[in-house]
Structure 1
Amino acid sequence: MKQFCLVFIVLLWCCLSGYAQEKLTVTYSEQSLKEVIIDIESKTSILFSYAQETIVSKKISLSKQEITLKELLRVMEMQTGLIFEKVSPKQVIIAQKQILCGYIYDDLTKEPLPYVTVVIDENRTTVTDTLGYFNFNKIRTKKEGVHINFMGYEEKKVAIAIGEPCAQIGLMPNSSALEEVLVLGYVTTGIDRNKDGAITLDSDRLGILPGLVSPDIAQSIQLIPGISTLDESATGIQIRGGSPDQNLILYDDIKLYNTGYFYGMFSLFNPFATQKAIVYRSGTSATYGDRISGIIDVSSGDVIPERTKGGFEIDGLSVNGFVKTPLSEKIALYAFARRSYADVMRTPSYQSYEDKIFTNFGIARDSNGNILELEIDDDFSPDTSNNDFYFTDISSKVILKPNKKNHLAISGLYTRNRLDFDFKGGDEIVIDSLITQNKGVSANWRHITSEKQEEKVTTYFSEYDSFYQNNEIKDETDDGILDLAEINIRKNRITDIGAKFTSTSRIKETQKITLGYEFSYTELEVIISSENPIDEEIERSIQEDNNLQNALFGEYTFNLRNNGFVNTGLRLVHYTSLDKFLVEPRINLEFPLHDRIRLKTAIERRNQPISQLVEFNHTELRLENELWRLSDDQEFPLLRSNQISGGILYNNKNLNVDIDAYYKELKGLTTFTSGFSNPLENLEEGESTIKGVDFLLKHSWNNYKIWLGYTYNDITFQFPNIEDTSSKFPGNNDITHQLRISNTLQLEKWQFSLGWQFRTGKPITPVNSYEIKIDADGENAGVVNFGAVNSDQLPDFHRLDASILYDFDIKSGSKKLKGQFGVSFLNIYNRVKPLNLIYKAERKPLDDGGIAIEGTDGSTPEELELILEQVIQRFSLGITPNAVFRLFF
């Protein structure tokens, strides 16, 4: 494997090096093709073969520095209508074209558009390649009209003559999308920046990314500075210091409470079913509520295709397929389905994730470097345990456009994740079972009343179910017979229904007002139980809560004539679970100092009535331990956020520079929502302060792109009632420095990508001292003394990722299928380090004395000490290969 990786890197380097070779400087002004050929032959070792009558009357006009021979030949093809075929490293044959051909590109960015469908009639259809090129052979007429339709762009019909140079066809982005977009290719192709600061991802245009073989939305947005995960997962997304549960995530307007499989390592979002995503880091529209961090709004698309389209793919984890078909000119049906196959066959890709998830121990040390000799047997790994895992998701959509003024879409989603796990340690067997499900339906109706008035009505139903059971089987009677000693169950169910009405009016060409009302009703159930069949002891906690939300919102947008804008918004909301009216003002503005430089700022207040708690103290939770709870402003406080951001954006053709600083104050945090690495027995309330800077630098040269993203964070917590922490201390997610460098290269049908990422270690609480003593039962017990909360940190994390994709065609009779094969590697140099560390401890009586703590019932104080039972460690992925094969029709 190491040798293969080395060869892979060398080949990639050779490709990059080769790309930079054989560059020419040429200047031609209406020169004959004969003279151009003589000039090229004098500057290179290339010889041209041709018939004299073929090149007669052909002329070339071009002035270019540092142009490759390949690019030069392409220009000569476009200007002459001839074929320049390089048959060997030193020979090019010039021939007359017998085809109809063209190049399609974005009319604004001038970049080629791959995978565009070009149609002459129902029997003659093709798709552009990665350079935007298409052709039709054996055309008998002198001129043909082609019809071009590409999602996100205006339709176009063009007449092309045979024997003429390949047509240059520019497509203009749809005016509705273009109105909002400020920077196309903000990070890379398919990741754009809107005028309001939101980031739009278009999976149809998204190019290859480091370590990925599919355009996964959840992984792709992590290329944006300020967005990352602490555990390499696809779904533990933190946006500018906020925790994952503080993000509002929508799929076709269905609210999601779980977005991953296999403990978040795999994304719930089917790559085929995520055509577009809008991401807000700050400056959030007043139409969004209920979360205090980022917004991720995903859509499966809204275009009625002209013909049936579909695709199939298989990678190292799952099998996936989709169909998009027009039922008529006004109705379309989308269908998507995916399933993992790890329960049937385990690939190297799955085994790498298995090593990461099912290894919970490593060498644990105190602050002096001494190894902790723990008196437990709860450590497990893939070698000492068994697991059976699968996931599946199905989604569909019906789109109805009866006329130009009405648009109706109905979407459905179902996902299921199941894992069975067991291991034997000492004299006990532990069996875990986890099932999580998402179900949802939404309906969206958009009505255009006039050129200046539009209404939108959205309704949704969402249901989330999580069921976890932990069984412990052990010998409790010393008779050698294993009995079911303990059953721990944790169940979490959420039912959420809602509707939203939005009205948008254009007062003038530069002014817009949006008004709306949102209603939602949430029911939540939490069941936590612990049963000891031997002693017939049962502890059960059942909580059922509900919350009715009514919200009014409004926005006023004023577009300045210099392309700047001012947006002010207000959201008035009432939550019945809190019996409070809350006001959420929001201001977002950008002002151009120059055609290329813009200043920006955003101020907002937001509230969140539901959040996840980390529950360590109720069960023997081995793997999953988050539960959703509704706020009651007492035991579970309302999360509140005040935040401000501002910065500068420079955009000049192929160069983007973006610097954004932000400051956030979060209130309503608890010791359970924060998930401290050391055990905290009581639920305490606190707050957090987040300071940060995001920096992006991106540049592109022809088919090569490179970008650098850097984030600086200073996250502090303050929990006044925690012992010795009356002052502020580093937050659990305080990753001070995060850096990504990524680059991509496209060479004909090949795509290459290489990326490196680095970040500082996560804060942890150190062990100051650890001593083995005898407990009340005469057993060894490790008495622990912890240091200051989060005063230490784990080692720095970094890894190198790479991907290669190859596009090809497969002819099937008169039809042509588009195919793609790709390979990727995560963590090429296989550096594995701990990403998280958790202590499991409880207070127990000792024979030799301890801390006197008075019993809650007024009984005689017991001699108790804090006993460390387990140190759970979670590690980074090792080298993780993956491969994909896909076909499109």
Structure 2
Amino acid sequence: MVLNKWLIYFLLCISSICYGQNTAKKTPLTEVIISIEKQFNIKFSYAVEDVATITIDKPNASFTLQETIDYLNSKTLLNFKALDNRYVTVSVLNKTISVCGIVFSDEKKSRLIGASVLVNDIEKSTITDKNGTFSLQNIPINATLTISYLGFESRQFSANELFSAQNNCKDIVLSTKNEELNQVLINVYLTPGLQKYLDGSTVLNTKKFGILPGLIEPDILQSVQALPGVESTNESIANINVRGGTNDQNLVLWDNIKMYHSGHFFGLISAYNPNLTNKVIVSKNGTSAEYSDGVSSTINMYTKDLVTNTFSGGAGINSISADAFLEIPITKKLELHISGRRSITDLFKSPTYTKYFDRSFQDTEINADSDQNNTSSDFYFYDYTAKLLFDLNEKHQFRANIIGINNALDYSESRITNSNETQSKTSNLSQKNIGYGGNWKAQWNPKLSSNVITYFSRYNIDATDYRVETDQRLTEANEVLETGAKLNTYYKTNDNLNFLFGYQFNETGMLNQTTVSAPFYSSTKKDVLLNHALFSEVEYNKNNTYLRVGLRLNYFQKFEKLLVEPRINIRQKLSDQFALKLEGEFKNQSTTQIVDFEDDFLGVEKRRWVLVTDKDIPIATSKQGSFGVEFNKNKLNIEATGFYKIVDGITASNQGFYNSFQFTNANGSYTAKGFEFLANKTARQYSVWVSYTFSTNDYEFDAFIPSTFPNNVDIRHSVSLGFYYDILKNLKIAVGGVWRNGQPYTKPIEGNETVQNGNNTMVNYDSPNNENLDDFMRLDASLNYNFNLSQSIKASVTAGVINATNQNNLINRYYKVNPNDSNDAIQVDNKSLGLTPNISFRVNF
């Protein structure tokens, strides 16, 4: 036992010696001189500025005085001369020297072309050449040089460090700049690749994404539903409800382009390819003053923005679609990123497709049974993106983007007439969103930078519906055109304090058109709205305090209306474990969706975008505040937040009522208040979490009786839990589930289910939203395996299953008059996805 102790002690001593040798650092020359003076009882005579910036290795303690002086002369550009046994003079051999270096990036170890080399305090600078090399002559020996490159952390060196008597240029490695490193609060939030920032926003890093239950790819619009306060009452990403809001109250940006469409397959699949999406930031409250619209949340998607000079890409296929992406270097300063995805469902009908189809088209004429007619349908979707990256120099970056999203449905119907002739007609539905954007980033000096952003977004939904029985042709169109420009100016006083000043202009135009052939009817409505905004913000982050305070001024030219919107976001650390969080914001929204209940758009897509009129459709405004406490210790994160939110200016046609208010025009508000809780424990191999939300959400419409009643998305209790585990190095599993109360619905009055209104018979509804569907419960699971096909090609297989227990969940219930008995109302139930498997295979190089 004693021998073992001595052996351990010996090994520790050896390791300490080794470690000390490996980490030895050079010593300031001033300290070396003081040590030599004590050792030999002598005095050095020198100018402090000549030696202040010089560092060297200490001379050997066994050297004589002359050997020590010779050593100092060989290691510095100074002349050490002994006058006698008591005094040594120090003088500068050359007041100026030549320096050189080779600048590399830390990621790819590639040479950085055009990196800036600045000699501080004098007007002398250069940039690196095509080999990443620079050289400067006649540099003061005591000068300091700053090496910088846009997108990388700057470094400083003394001229003496970059001098080499043998003309060997020093290798200089610049680390990738991540201005948000100091903003990251939690590195692993639920699963690898999900992070939480100090300002409370949730960030998805797609490159580092693990897996979440049921998912086969890093889809933020699905992933965000694991967070407290975020629901999708009909399990669709096209209907995400954040703290009681409707989906159109979420501002969705893709590389600063405002998007009006978010899902394929009418909301079951995200329309944004995650492979070129670098990060996604989701904010529920306390949003930056830079952003308006989205009175419920802001979802920012950013694609890769760094010129890497490396050719790379990938491709994948799953049960629904196939995709590919490429990063193509054109020159050292110019690069092209492209991606594309298309459904394969028109070629192969997988079980996943069948489940999605039945879920999307239930209760529509597409999926209706008919004894007399033969019907068939063809559905497909695709999306594409392209981004051009150009680095003019280390101070100026230019980017240009394009994104296209398309859903198409063709529906054929044929019937045999009384004369035994076959009549065939085709209906179709097209849904598109295309966006163009560009921005110019400039670093004018170390403290001042700017970003000029421009974009154009166009959304179209067009439907032609032929009805064989009545020989009627219905054509409908909804178009949104938006042009925007924004100037952001950033001023950084120091590492702790930043200022933002900006201006934004938007022009939004909308078209709604309806045409009926028999009897003929036509309606066209166009609206245009101009909006100007000034915004300013200060951000402070030091020690235990994070503070962001902003103000936004919005001016609507058409209405001559000014809206003032303050924003605040504070996080105060009380100790190493506890912190308090306060958030608040005023926001507005000038676009909204109205819901149609007839067979518009083939009964599939029943929402259309409209502009506010400030009368019938007012500008929606929100006021929201939240206060919470956070606990973080040993990778256990616990959060509890209370929130209160009022949204005014909503319309009855926007809410999709299935009750007596279904065809009534009125303006009102809703108030959501509640409590959110999240506990998340992470370790090297696993992460486990549980979230709970309690909330009450009530409408208030003065024109209705009753004026106050539960919101359509009033989910009082909601629980989400999950477990992520690295079984092996390359094998991961995630299992999780969700349970929540069923959403409200309205029943007809029992015994008096219909009522006559002129020539029309209508459902006679009872008190609005006075009943609830059965509780919703679902269990999901995913399995991921990574492997290498070669040294440069990586592959992965991911399998997922949604609703693994095949739970029979209802997501909506409404009533309609029985066509065979006008005194009876038929109950219509919409069901969620049943057991839905999916599998994907990907390669990356």
Q: Shorter-chain TM-score: which interval?
A: 0.7 to 0.9
Pick one of 864, 871, 875 that aligns with 2:831. Answer: 875
> Relative to structure 1, is the Cα distance of residues 881 and 377 closer, same or farther in structure 2, using a 3 angstrom cutoff?
closer
Contact 2:670–2:697, Cα closer than 8 Å, also in 1: yes
Name the residue aligned to 1:623.
Answer: 604
Name the residue aligned to 1:477.
Answer: none
Amino acid in structure 2 at the alignment position of 1:682: T
**CA drift at 1:417:** 0.6
**CA drift at 1:469:** 2.4
1:640-660 C-alpha deviation (Å, 9 max, x unpaired):
111111101122241111111
Pick one of 775, 778, 790 that aligns with 1:799. Answer: 778
Name the residue aligned to 1:829.
Answer: 805
Pick one of 378, 395, 420 that aligns with 1:405. Answer: 395
Contact 1:360–1:380, Cα closer than 8 Å, also in 2: no
Contact 1:490–1:529, Cα closer than 8 Å, also in 2: yes
Contact 1:530–1:619, Cα closer than 8 Å, also in 2: no
Q: Secondary structure at the match of 1:272?
A: coil
1:699-751 C-alpha deviation (Å, 9 max, x unpaired):
023201111122222110112222x313x211001111111111111112111
**CA drift at 1:494:** 0.8
Using the alignment, how far apart are the partners of 1:293 and 1:802 within structure 2? Answer: 29
Amino acid in structure 2 at the alignment position of 1:386: S
Name the residue aligned to 2:292.
Answer: 289
Contact 1:378–1:870, Cα closer than 8 Å, also in 2: no
Pick one of 302, 305, 308 that aligns with 1:302. Answer: 305
Name the residue aligned to 1:715.
Answer: 697
Matches within 5 A, 1:426-445: 432-445=427-440
Name the residue aligned to 1:369.
Answer: none
Q: Secondary structure at the match of 1:354?
A: helix
Q: Does 2:349 align with 1:346? A: yes
Matches within 5 A, 1:270-669: 270-360=273-363, 379-380=368-369, 386-421=376-411, 432-474=427-469, 484=471, 486-532=472-518, 537-559=519-541, 561-616=542-597, 619=600, 621-669=602-650
Using the alignment, how far apart are the partners of 2:501 and 2:572 within structure 1? Answer: 25
Amino acid in structure 2 at the alignment position of 1:693: F
Contact 1:430–1:470, Cα closer than 8 Å, also in 2: no
> Relative to structure 1, is the Cα distance of residues 590 and 119 closer, same or farther in structure 2, using a 3 angstrom cutoff?
closer
Name the residue aligned to 1:735.
Answer: 715
> Relative to structure 1, is the Cα distance of residues 195 and 530 closer, same or farther in structure 2, using a 3 angstrom cutoff?
same
> Relative to structure 1, is the Cα distance of residues 187 and 682 closer, same or farther in structure 2, using a 3 angstrom cutoff?
same
> Relative to structure 1, is the Cα distance of residues 790 and 772 closer, same or farther in structure 2, using a 3 angstrom cutoff?
closer
Number of aligned residues: 691
**CA drift at 1:193:** 1.4
Using the alignment, how far apart are the partners of 1:733 and 1:711 within structure 2? Answer: 13
Using the alignment, how far apart are the partners of 1:776 and 1:596 within structure 2? Answer: 64
Contact 2:316–2:841, Cα closer than 8 Å, also in 1: yes
**CA drift at 1:307:** 1.8
Amino acid in structure 2 at the alignment position of 1:733: V
**CA drift at 1:332:** 1.5
1:134-173 C-alpha deviation (Å, 9 max, x unpaired):
xxxxxxxxxxxxxxxxx999899xxxxxxxxxxxxxx988
Q: Say which is worse superposed, 175-184 or 498-507, in terms of deviation.
A: 175-184
Q: Secondary structure at the match of 1:357?
A: helix
Using the alignment, how far apart are the partners of 1:268 and 1:776 within structure 2? Answer: 43
Q: Secondary structure at the match of 1:302?
A: coil
1:429-459 C-alpha deviation (Å, 9 max, x unpaired):
9965211111111111111112211111000
**CA drift at 1:326:** 2.0
Using the alignment, how far apart are the partners of 1:659 and 1:452 within structure 2? Answer: 37
Using the alignment, how far apart are the partners of 2:787 and 2:154 within structure 1? Answer: 26
**CA drift at 1:799:** 1.0
Using the alignment, how far apart are the partners of 2:773 and 2:186 within structure 1? Answer: 38
**CA drift at 1:119:** 7.4
Q: Secondary structure at the match of 1:207?
A: coil
**CA drift at 1:180:** 2.0
1:284-306 C-alpha deviation (Å, 9 max, x unpaired):
11000122110001011112224
Q: Secondary structure at the match of 1:352?
A: helix
Name the residue aligned to 2:44.
Answer: none
Q: Where does structure 2 lack aligned partners over 5 or more consecutive residues?
A: 19-105, 112-149, 156-173, 418-422
Q: Secondary structure at the match of 1:349?
A: helix
Using the alignment, how far apart are the partners of 1:758 and 1:425 within structure 2? Answer: 45
Amino acid in structure 1 at the alignment position of 2:764: N
Q: Does 2:725 align with 1:769? A: no
Contact 2:753–2:825, Cα closer than 8 Å, also in 1: no
> Relative to structure 1, is the Cα distance of residues 155 and 508 closer, same or farther in structure 2, using a 3 angstrom cutoff?
closer
Pick one of 673, 676, 679 that aligns with 1:697. Answer: 679
> Relative to structure 1, is the Cα distance of residues 661 and 385 closer, same or farther in structure 2, using a 3 angstrom cutoff?
farther
Q: Say which is worse superposed, 870-879 or 395-404, in terms of deviation.
A: 870-879
Pick one of 185, 209, 219 that aligns with 1:206. Answer: 209
Contact 2:253–2:259, Cα closer than 8 Å, also in 1: yes
Amino acid in structure 2 at the alignment position of 1:831: Q
Q: Where does structure 1 lack aligned partners over 5 or more consecutive residues?
A: 1-27, 36-56, 62-115, 122-150, 157-170, 362-375, 475-482, 847-864
Using the alignment, how far apart are the partners of 2:772 and 2:305 within structure 1? Answer: 47
Amino acid in structure 2 at the alignment position of 1:245: D
Using the alignment, how far apart are the partners of 2:107 and 2:619 within structure 1? Answer: 51
**CA drift at 1:358:** 2.5
Name the residue aligned to 1:242.
Answer: 245
> Relative to structure 1, is the Cα distance of residues 360 and 651 closer, same or farther in structure 2, using a 3 angstrom cutoff?
same
Name the residue aligned to 2:114.
Answer: none
Contact 2:746–2:814, Cα closer than 8 Å, also in 1: no
Q: Which has the higher Rg, Structure 1 or Structure 2?
A: 2
Name the residue aligned to 1:265.
Answer: 268
Using the alignment, how far apart are the partners of 1:686 and 1:449 within structure 2? Answer: 48
Q: Secondary structure at the match of 1:271?
A: coil
Using the alignment, how far apart are the partners of 2:6 and 2:342 within structure 1? Answer: 59
Using the alignment, how far apart are the partners of 1:493 and 1:557 within structure 2? Answer: 39
Using the alignment, how far apart are the partners of 1:315 and 1:255 within structure 2? Answer: 28
Amino acid in structure 2 at the alignment position of 1:786: Y
Using the alignment, how far apart are the partners of 2:437 and 2:225 within structure 1? Answer: 27
Amino acid in structure 1 at the alignment position of 2:516: S
Contact 2:753–2:765, Cα closer than 8 Å, also in 1: no
**CA drift at 1:824:** 1.0
Contact 2:755–2:762, Cα closer than 8 Å, also in 1: no
Contact 2:754–2:825, Cα closer than 8 Å, also in 1: no
**CA drift at 1:489:** 2.3
Using the alignment, how far apart are the partners of 1:632 and 1:403 within structure 2? Answer: 46
Q: Say which is worse superposed, 206-215 or 217-226, in terms of deviation.
A: 217-226
**CA drift at 1:505:** 1.0
Amino acid in structure 1 at the alignment position of 2:395: K
**CA drift at 1:387:** 2.3
Contact 1:358–1:380, Cα closer than 8 Å, also in 2: no
1:479-529 C-alpha deviation (Å, 9 max, x unpaired):
xxxx51x22222110111110001111234432221100011111101123
Using the alignment, how far apart are the partners of 2:639 and 2:176 within structure 1? Answer: 24
Name the residue aligned to 2:766.
Answer: 787
TM-score of the aligned structures, taking structure 2 as reference length: 0.76
1:371-412 C-alpha deviation (Å, 9 max, x unpaired):
xxxxx9995599985321111111011111222221211111
**CA drift at 1:678:** 2.3
1:584-629 C-alpha deviation (Å, 9 max, x unpaired):
1112211111122111111211111110001225848511111111
